[in-house]
């Protein structure tokens, strides 16, 4: 009983030390901190969106279409008189937060997050199998993924979404499919290195199954590079969502999709009303840059501790 208590205390101390190490790496990088501030800003406005505006993203003010920033509409309005600040912060929910973007649960949120999570699950599984098993299994899996990577990313997105249709679920599917090859190759390369370690040989000697070794012994030891790669992929997914929305293949209207907002607002730029296109463009750029800075900062600091 005493030994069990001591073991639990040691495990707790080890987890606490790991958390402290991660925080020390994060706070020691100015690049990561700048990215973290940007990401936290968008996550915060997405979570508290209903409390940060008096308007819904669909509410129309026919008396004030294409208006610039004012006391009533701090970022202005679009061509239908909808408040741009409201649509911008609810649009952040579409991208980042796994919450409904409206109180009636009509549209899901966290499209980019869900897409990356699905691609991580599938890609990690394929990479583990290919890297650990090797042989003909590895050849078949990698050659299929190589064929997918040979297609330009934007073209692959267009083919998938145009084939299955534009909807929230289909955008998640497209993000997941496009992300699988890169994640699988990353996990495979890590697996090829880790499977030569002594503790893997010990697990094989104990008679552990291949699935146990892959998912309990190998996968947890690949989490660092995978987490950093996932941050970058969320940024890529947000950019892809903006591109699809701009091309009319993103979230269905009247969803406050940032890409769709840019596409609709650009036709009014030459008329002297750039606001509907300007704010979502800044939102996409800032969030993608923030995620990239956060991932790059963590990666740079992590390499110093190796």
Structure-block tokens of residue 167: 């909807």
What is the predicted pLDDT for the residue at 136? 87
Q: Are residues 49 and 71 in the same domain?
A: yes
Residue 75 within a domain: yes
Residue 271 within a domain: yes
E strands in the chain: none
CA distance 132 to 110: 32
Number of separate domains in the chain: 2
What is the predicted pLDDT for the residue at 16? 67
Q: Are residues 171 and 281 in the same domain?
A: no
Residue 262 within a domain: yes
What is the predicted pLDDT for the residue at 102? 43
What is the predicted pLDDT for the residue at 97? 62
Examine the fold and report which residue of 196, 231, 266 is the final residue of a domain before the chain moves on.
231
What is the predicted pLDDT for the residue at 41? 94
Examine the fold and report which residue of 203, 231, 259 is the final residue of a domain before the chain moves on.
231
What is the predicted pLDDT for the residue at 156? 86
Please write the tens of the pLDDT for every residue from 17-44. Answer: 666 666 676 677 788 889 999 999 999 9
Please write the tens of the pLDDT for every residue from 75-124. Answer: 999 988 999 999 999 988 888 764 444 444 344 456 778 888 899 999 99
Between 4 and 128, the higher pLDDT residue: 128
What is the predicted pLDDT for the residue at 172? 83
Residue 242 within a domain: no
Between 45 and 297, the higher pLDDT residue: 45
**Tokens 């050849």 found at:** 139
What is the predicted pLDDT for the residue at 224? 81
C-alpha 202 chain-centroid distance: 36
Please write the tens of the pLDDT for every residue from 55-67. Answer: 988 888 888 888 8
- Tell which phi-psi region holds residue 81, choosing left (phi > 0), alpha (psi between -120 and 50) or beta: left
Q: Are residues 132 and 222 in the same domain?
A: yes
Structure-block tokens of residue 89: 């912060």
Does position 231 have pLDDT exceeding 80, yes or no?
yes
Does position 270 have pLDDT exceeding 90, yes or no?
no
Q: Are residues 22 and 97 in the same domain?
A: yes
Least confident of 14-23, 130-139, 149-158, 252-261: 14-23
Residue 135 within a domain: yes
Please write the tens of the pLDDT for every residue from 192-227. Answer: 999 989 989 998 888 889 999 999 999 988 888 888
Q: Are residues 97 and 117 in the same domain?
A: no
Residue 240 within a domain: no
Q: Are residues 208 and 137 in the same domain?
A: yes
Distances (CA, A) of 211 to 120, 188, 196, 204: 17, 15, 16, 11
What is the predicted pLDDT for the residue at 286? 93
Q: Are residues 276 and 204 in the same domain?
A: no
Least confident of 38-42, 217-221, 242-246, 264-268: 242-246
**Tokens 């969502």 found at:** 241
Return the H-helix or E-strand segment holding 72.
none
CA distance 149 to 120: 16
Residue 117 within a domain: yes
Q: Are residues 141 and 80 in the same domain?
A: no
Question: Long-range contacts made by residues 37-44, C-beta under 8 angstroms, separation at least 24?
Answer: 37/290, 38/286, 38/287, 38/289, 38/290, 38/293, 39/287, 39/290, 39/291, 39/294, 42/92, 42/96, 42/283, 42/286, 42/287, 42/290, 43/92, 43/96, 43/97
What is the predicted pLDDT for the residue at 304? 56
Range of the domain at 63: 2-107+251-304
Residue 20 within a domain: yes
Q: Are residues 213 and 146 in the same domain?
A: yes
Q: Are residues 86 and 135 in the same domain?
A: no
State the pTM of this model. Answer: 0.79
Please write the tens of the pLDDT for every residue from 137-196. Answer: 889 988 999 988 888 888 888 888 888 877 777 888 888 899 999 999 999 999 999 998
Q: Are residues 97 and 80 in the same domain?
A: yes
List the helix and strand counts (H, then E) for the chain.
12, 0
What is the predicted pLDDT for the residue at 21? 66
Q: Are residues 187 and 90 in the same domain?
A: no
């Amino acid at each position: 009983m005493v030994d069990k208590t001591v073991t639990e205390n040691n495990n707790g101390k080890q987890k606490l030390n790991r958390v402290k190490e991660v925080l020390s790496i994060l706070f020691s990088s100015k690049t990561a901190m700048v990215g973290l501030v940007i990401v936290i800003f968008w996550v915060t406005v997405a979570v508290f969106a209903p409390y940060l505006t008096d308007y819904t993203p669909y509410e129309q003010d026919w008396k004030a279409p294409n208006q610039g920033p004012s006391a009533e509409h701090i970022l202005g309005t679009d061509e239908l008189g909808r408040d741009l600040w409201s649509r911008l912060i609810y649009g952040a929910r579409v991208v980042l937060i796994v919450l409904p973007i409206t109180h009636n649960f009509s549209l899901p949120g966290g499209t980019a997050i869900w897409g990356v999570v699905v691609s991580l699950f599938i890609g990690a599984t394929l990479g583990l199998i290919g890297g650990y098993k090797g042989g003909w299994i590895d050849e078949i899996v990698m050659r299929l993924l190589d064929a997918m990577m040979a297609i330009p990313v934007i073209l692959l997105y267009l083919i998938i979404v145009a084939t299955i249709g534009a909807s929230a679920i289909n955008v998640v599917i497209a993000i997941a499919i496009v992300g699988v090859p890169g994640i699988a190759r990353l996990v495979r390369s890590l697996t090829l290195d880790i499977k030569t370690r002594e503790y893997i040989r010990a697990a094989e000697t104990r008679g552990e199954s291949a699935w146990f070794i892959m998912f309990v012994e190998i996968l947890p030891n690949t989490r660092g590079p995978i987490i950093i790669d996932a941050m970058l992929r969320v940024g890529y997914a947000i950019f892809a969502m903006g591109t699809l929305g701009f091309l009319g293949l993103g979230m269905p209207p009247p969803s406050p999709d940032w890409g769709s907002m840019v596409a609709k607002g650009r036709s009014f730029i030459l008329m002297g009303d750039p606001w509907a296109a300007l704010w979502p463009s800044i939102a996409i750029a800032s969030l993608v840059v923030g995620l990239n800075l956060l991932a790059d900062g963590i990666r740079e600091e992590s390499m110093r501790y190796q």
